[in-house]
Chain A
Amino acid sequence: MQYLLIFIAAIFVNNVVLSQFLGICPFLGVSKKVSTASGMGVAVTFVLTIATIVTFVLQKYVLTPYELDYLQTLTFIIVIATLVQMIEIILKKMSPSLYNALGVFLPLITTNCCVLGVAILVIQIDYSLLESVVYAFSTGIGFALALIVFAAIREQLDMVDVPRGMRGMSVVLVTAGLLSLAFMGFSGLEGGLRSLFGLA
């Protein structure tokens, strides 16, 4: 039950893009078409889950026992950058069809702050390994959901006559604000589910 709660809270209540502001660059940059948005969403979910497992193990079995906590930022970013490269190479050999679908998005993910953000966050919250995996996976789903919904809105936005000064990024930001406002409607969900499942 507690995993279901993490899952729902990460997607709707604390949506990674719309309420935690992680991964804004791809959210604004790769959301012009629904097809590219869903590709990016899948790629991020995939990398995010694997990266969180690797960094979690590294933190618990290398950094903490040897008191190297201050190297966290440096090691995590290098591990994530290497991992993204490695996933790209492995996918190219093992599954060319998946590589063709995700290929262009993979290099962009290194500088997506939601990967590093989630890796650091699960250490700070002190989740167990399984909880971290569920959290990372559902954060990825939440990212994909926000991206796809936003891309669908932006496709419609192209046909609207926007006032001159608001054209371009300005109207996109205001639209994102309204979407974020809509997601705030979910904020009561977590407490309700908690009492429903009988969790404190």
Chain B
Amino acid sequence: MKKYLDIIVNGFVKENPTFVLMLGMCPTLATTTSAINGLSMGLATMFVLICSNLVISFLKNLTPDKVHIPVYIAVIATFVTVLQLMLKAYLPEIDASLGLFIPLIVVNCVILGRAESFASKNGPLASIFDGIGIGLGFTFGLTLLGICREFLGSGSVFGVILFPESYGALMFILPPGAFITLGFLVAIVNKIRGV
């Protein structure tokens, strides 16, 4: 059990995909206009990550080395399609607000990166825990960025109004704010990690 807990902590802290590995930057910057959008994007990615990690760890001995990347991409694309159809059916508002970035989970380098560096070398159970750890780390990163941008830009967090919207700096919700907020968050995380 200790071993699996370590895998989760590793994904969340040591190899945090947003602040340390800096992977999957496109959805990180694009979908974090509000805390709830960041959270839903993180959870959507986590779902695909766990499923694809599990399947790929089963397939690792069956795939010939030469075609392993196309096979991984096909597995990931399958789960993204499953997610896309489920969101359309049950959570249409989230589907509408994340839009193009749901199909683009396929090319999120976090998922292919974990398939290549973890799931293709470890057993199914360990791969699931790696998916949970990295997925939680990614969700945490996106939610934190979403909270900061929503707070600075419109004065609310998760839709709860903290100060009147007219005092907010709209720039933080617009594209430049995404780069700048993430830049400063990375600096703060670097300070905490003592780099």
> A83 on the interface (CB 8 Å rule)?
no
Contact at B103–A116, with CB atoms within 8 Å? yes
B interface residue count range (under 10 / 10 to 19 / 20 to 34 / 35 or more): 35 or more
Contact pattern, A 8-45, Cβ under 8 Å of B = 1, otherwise 0? 00000000001111111100100000000000000000
What A residues does B27 contact at CB under 8 A? 21
Which residue on chain A has the smallest CB distance to residue B76?
A: A77
Contact at A81–B73, with CB atoms within 8 Å? yes
What B residues does A171 contact at CB under 8 A? 183
Interface of B is mostly: helix
Contact at A74–B77, with CB atoms within 8 Å? yes
Contact at B81–A169, with CB atoms within 8 Å? no
Contact at B85–A70, with CB atoms within 8 Å? yes
**Least Cβ distance of B136 to chain A in Å?**
21
Contact at B22–A28, with CB atoms within 8 Å? yes
Contact at A73–B80, with CB atoms within 8 Å? yes
**Least Cβ distance of A118 to chain B in Å?**
10
> B26 on the interface (CB 8 Å rule)?
yes
Which residue on chain A has the smallest CB distance to residue B99?
A: A124
Contact at A21–B180, with CB atoms within 8 Å? no
**Least Cβ distance of B105 to chain A in Å?**
9
Known A-B contacts A73-B81, A112-B107, A184-B174; A174 and B183 likewise in contact (beta carbons under 8 Å)? yes
Contact pattern, B 137-172, Cβ under 8 Å of A = 1, otherwise 0? 000000000000000000000000000000000010
**Least Cβ distance of A142 to chain B in Å?**
14
Chain A to chain B: the 7 pairs with minimum beta-carbon distance, closest first: A177-B179, A173-B183, A21-B30, A177-B180, A174-B183, A24-B25, A181-B176
